[in-house]
Structures are given as structure tokens and as C-alpha cells.
Structure 1
Amino acid sequence: MKLKLTPVGVAKAAAPEKGRTFYWDEGLPGFGLMVTANCHKSYVVQYRAGARSRRMHLKNGLTLTAARKEAKAILGAVAKNRDPLSERRKAERAESDTLKAVVEEYLTREGKRLRSINERRATLQRHVLPRLGTRQIGDITRTDIVRILDRIADESGAPMADHVLAHLRRVMTWHASRSDDFRSPIVRGMARTSPSQRRRQRILTDAELRAVWEAAGASQHVFGYLVRFLLLTAVRRSEAAGMQRREVIEAEWTIPQERYKTGLELVIPLSDAAQAVLSDVPKIGKAGFVFTTDGKHPISGFSKFKASFDQKVLALLREHDPEAKLPRWTLHDLRRTARSLMSRAGVPTDHAERALGHVIGGVRGVYDRHEYLSEKRRAFEALAALVERIVPPG
């Protein structure tokens, strides 16, 4: 049906009893109004591209004036031997094939089967998507990935680079299984550590961290308090186990040099969360040990306590995934996990390393004796804040 399209005419355009009908504009051939049986109205442009007839729908919500202006632009492109509908579809496909779009689709479709979906999303958003997110996934080269891994290894260590690589590998393998053309650029040999090194450099996933934290709180046992304290302070097991209450003065814990690995005294500013854990630990005996079962000696028998603790952790994991398994982990993994979380929370590398008591090598290590208390305090508060966002309340 042809008529002169006007705002009044568009408003009064009748809907068909079924299907759809078109009102073609007499003033602009190829431009028309489509009305469906349920009274939905939208503008369309009809044209020929070579031997093919094309019908292109304009976006909803346009006024008649705006729609006519857009239709003129489309028909002008057609006059120059272009195919606007084909170009639009190509652009839409390109947008859906960016790495960011593929990652989001992967997390959406596979999320229910992933125990660490939030950790995966955060890791990719922090380390990969800012640099490669807008790129077509098929255009990402092995060199692109190697450069990102080099940067991560330099800034956050080789284990973190391998952690990112593992997440990116899964996304690309998943996409390759759904695409006729895509081939993942990731190949064997791109990891920065050996399998044995990776076992020694394990960090807990968010799901594991939640289960460990919840099990520690539910146990109301000195071992559970120790687990939470290790995560919030990133210290070694032996350093925390021998902790005495007199070592804490005004929210600062001083580990004496004879009990610290480097042979140097270390001051650790305690976050509010770490202080809360200490306040919950029952005071037993008069020897002053914080983590003790008999009041006379530091806690020991870690293997026995951890075996029982792991059963509680596994039970919590299986509340969300009946087939869940708890990979082997150690208390030292909490220190690595804390260091990884600091990076994830945006703590500068130097400050995170100082917080862990690592010795800075070279000339800086010899001459830079500033204790970095303020920087370390901010690092531990950032760690505690991120832990709070990951774990369940309580």
C-alpha cells in the first residue's frame, strides 16, 4: 500500500488481522512503515543489492523525520553500489566475536558449571581484557598473548602469568569448539613454570577460599582461627604458630628475628579483620601463645588438624557441586593466595612484596631501609577488603 507518510498517518496506520502489512512512502521510494497484527510499528527500507532484494529494519523508537533521514542515507549508500544490510550484519558479527564478548558468553553459558566464575571474570578483566578485549578473537596472535604473559610475569610473578594463561586457554578452547574457523593461538610450552613448580605455587580459587574461610569460622577451634589469620597476614605457618600476645602493640605485630625466615625483625600492621580474628581466639594458659591447644606450647600437629579440616571444606564445596573435589593444598598456599589477592586488589608490587617480608635485592635492598609501614598497612587493608567481598559474611 502506497501513501504519503505523515506523523498523523503513522499514528492512524491500521494493523492487519494477522501477519504484517507495509505502508510505502510515496515521497521516498523504498522507505516504508511496517505494522504487525499486535500493532507494533517500525520503519523499513527496501532496496536491491545486485540481483538480491533486501529489506532493512531501522532501529525502534525513531521519529518519522529521523527514520526518513536514515533511510535516505541507506539508499544513498545503495546508489554507490554498497549493501548496508550486509555491512550491518558483518559489523554485528564482528562485535559478537570480540574477546570481551566471547568471554562474557563463556561465563554466561558455562557459569553454572564453574566453581570459580567470579575469580575467572576478575582475573581476565584485570589482566587481559583491558588490552585485548576489543580485538576480534580471531585476530589475536600468539605474540599478543606472550606479551601479556611477559608483563604479568614481570609485575606479579610467573605463577600469576600461568594462572591467567589457564583461564584464557579455557575460553579459547571453548570458543574453538563452537566455531568452524577459529583456532586457538595458545599452544604447549607457553607456561612460565613447570608442572612441579605449579604444584608448589598453587593459589586457592574463590570457591575454595570461601569454603576454607567458612569451615575455619564454623570449627571454633584454634586451627580455624589460625587459617583465617594466615590468609589475612600472609605469614608462614611457623611464624604465626609461635605468635605471642606481647608481640602485638597497637595493631602492629612484630615478628622477632629469631623466628623470621630472613633473620630480620618484621613488623606487620594488622588489618581490622586480622585484629578481629585475634580477639576471637580463646586465651589459654599463661605462656602467652595466641595459637595453642594446651596453653603451654604453640599449636602443632598440623597434619592431623588439617585432615579433619579438609573434610569440612569438601563438604561445603559439595553443597554447591555434588561432584566437587578438593585438590591438594597446603597452609603455605594461603600465603601465595594472599599475595595474589593483593595484586588483584591493585596493591603495588613493591608494597605487596614488603608486606610479605620479602627482601628487595640489589642496591635498593641495601640502601632503602624505610619500613613502609603505611604502605604495608594499606596493602593488608586492601587484602582484607577483597577477602570480605569473596567470602560469605560471618
Structure 2
Amino acid sequence: MKKAITKRAVDALKPGEYITDTDVLGFVVRRLPSGRLSYGFRYAKDGKRRWIKLGVGIPPDAARKAALKHAGSVAGDGNPLPERQARRVEAMTARTVNDVLDGFLVHARSKRLRSVAEMESLLRRHVRPKLGGRRVNAVKRSEIADLLKGIAALPSTRASDGQSRRVADKVLGVLRSAFNWHQIHDDDFVSPIVKGMAQTTLKELSRDRVLDDAEIRTLWQALDQCGPPAYVRLVRALLLSAARLNEVARLQWPEIVGDVAIVPATRTKTKIDFAIPITPDVAALIGEGPGEAGGFVFSTDHGASPFSGFSKAKKRLDAEIAKLRAEDDLPPMPPWRVHDLRRTARSLLSRAKVDPDIAERVLGHAIPGVRRVYDQHPFIAEKRDALERLAAVVRSIVEPPPANVVNLRKSEVA
């Protein structure tokens, strides 16, 4: 708000509120979240906005005297910015997009974010070649919009419309985070990213794909003809555990304690450790123990590294599914993703009459309300029972009884 900065006025300020003085142009005071008052003087020089910190917690009269001094210098066509601060501002404004991205990635690694590798890849392929050498303070909204439109127009074999709009939105998310991080360290930088730049809508991103019984049966049969074995075991384990891909694909032997796998918080969406009971069906897929190198459960190099090459393996699996459905005179299987198995498993849990609350705990979803805080029961036995019921339903689908087996109760009634 604009008004005279007086002791009475600043005492009435609430955290986050600020006053622009009506008498001394550029004189500003803001109440920090901590409750302290921060005074500053802002002005323009050579077409660039400048900011001078006058002090924190000082009396408003003292801050006003300092602001008047700087205002006089500006009026005399001078530059009141101290030399040291001027050098800092020049250094900040000279930073390129690449400089900011490098700093942000260092910050992301220090936070041990799971998506750092994907961030680096997206920035290397899509952002650095186009904007990397630009001064970050000079990047315009129109440049960001053009960048995203160009990415969205790239051909894609994964999206139904053949475009990479989802990739564009991932790039937008990384850029938004990087620019927001930079804003904290540069008083003169304002992020060029605004609402409305996303290339997809929430409705488009939401999926409800669930595999029906015939599709599950075909998938299970197709896996028998595919490889490598680690991928086959992994896909089946995903359906039988209802877990997320990252939780299972990077599972390590030390994380298996007895007949329970403890997924660390760094790999869970809720950021807390998550227990997955290992049923006999899943145990058969995991095996008896670590390979030569210990390490990862689903691996092609004896546990040294987790399975990779998902795209190629999925293409082989889809080709085998298409072949089997053609042989059975079935229509082509609609596009599906590995994550659809998790939604399918949740639906099968309902078919198995598992309590909805337990089913949600099986999936590792956060329980709403105060129960999340006060109910600390691990629910291991309940989740194990639910997963065993799920396995029974899956077995009934992939190994249906022979056609000549007669239901005795029905035959007796007849």
C-alpha cells in the first residue's frame, strides 16, 4: 500500500505486508515473516531496477534519512548503490540460464530428489540448446511459450495424439522450480513463467484405464514369451503387489526383512517408509536370495544395477500381446501403461471384497484426517491378507478352470 512510513504505520503492518512511502519515492518497508521490519530503497538506473537494503529492525526515522540520502544521489544523476553491492547486482544480471540451471541442480541433488536424473535429461535435450546462453534476467514469457510449443509439437509414440505435450509440461515444471529457486537469490529477477503455459489439462492427464480379465490373461501369457526374465518377473510383481514401479523396480535385498519389503521414504510418494508384505506368489517371482553382487532384486547383471530398458521390453511385450490376440480372434488391445496395473490391482482388491481402507493402505496412499497422525498401527497382517486375496483373484483369471469342470452345486440343483 502507498502511505507515509511512520512508526504508527509500520507498527500496524502484518507479516508479508509492505508500505511504499508517498513522500520519498522508492522508500519501502516490509514486515518479514519473522515479524521484523525490513527497510529498503528501490530505483532505476540505466534501464535496470536496483535495490538497496537500508536495514532490518531500525527506527523508521533512521531508515527515512538513509532513503533521502540515496534519493538525492539519484536526483543528481548519481548511483547510490555501494560498489560492492553494485558488483553483486551486475554479476547476478549477467548470469545465464545455464548458470541458473546448474545452481538449481546442485540444490536438487542436495535435497536428494528422486527426479534429478530426469530433470538433467529434460534440460539438456530441450532447454539448454535453445535458452542456455541467454541472460536469465532477459528471458521473456514469449520465449518460454515458444519453447514449450516447439516441444509439444515433437512426434511421440507414447501419446495418443502423437505429440509430446506431456514432455513439454515436464520441462515447464522443472523450469518453474529453477526460476522460483533463483528468485530467492536475486532481488531483480522475476520469473517469466505464468499460469496458463501448460500444454495439457488436468482432465487430459487423468487416466482410468483398467485391464479387463481377457487383457490380464493375454498379458500373463505374453510374458511367458518375452524377456528378459527380470522384466517378466517385475511386471507380474507389480500386478500382485499393487505397488508403484519405482518402489518395486529398485527394490534391494537389504530392504527385505523376513517376508516384508521395507521401501525407504526416498522412493515413496508419501515420503515415509512403506511396508509391502511378500506373499508366496510374489516370493516366487523374487527368488531365494541375492545374486552374485547382492544389490537389486530385479536386475540383469546379478544385482549390480536395477533393471533398465523398459521401453524396449514394453515394445516386445506389446508385440507379443498383439500376436496372441490376433490368434484368438480378439480385437487389438487398447494402449496401456505399466502404471495401469496398479489401478487394475486396486480394482481387483475391491472384487476380492477387501475393506477399502485396507486397500488404500496396500497402495500406500496417505490416510486423510487425524487417523494419519494418531493411528500408527502398521497393518502388516491386514495388508498381507489383502494381497493374498488379490493373488487368488489373479490366479483365477490367468489359470481359469477347464471347460469340462462342472460346478457340483449347480449340477445337483439341476
Q: Quickly name the TM-score band, shorter chain normalised.
A: 0.3 to 0.5
Greater share of helix residues, 1 or 2?
1
Normalised by the length of structure 2, the TM-score is 0.45
Bigger RCO of structures 1 and 2 (CA < 8 A, at least 6 apart): 1
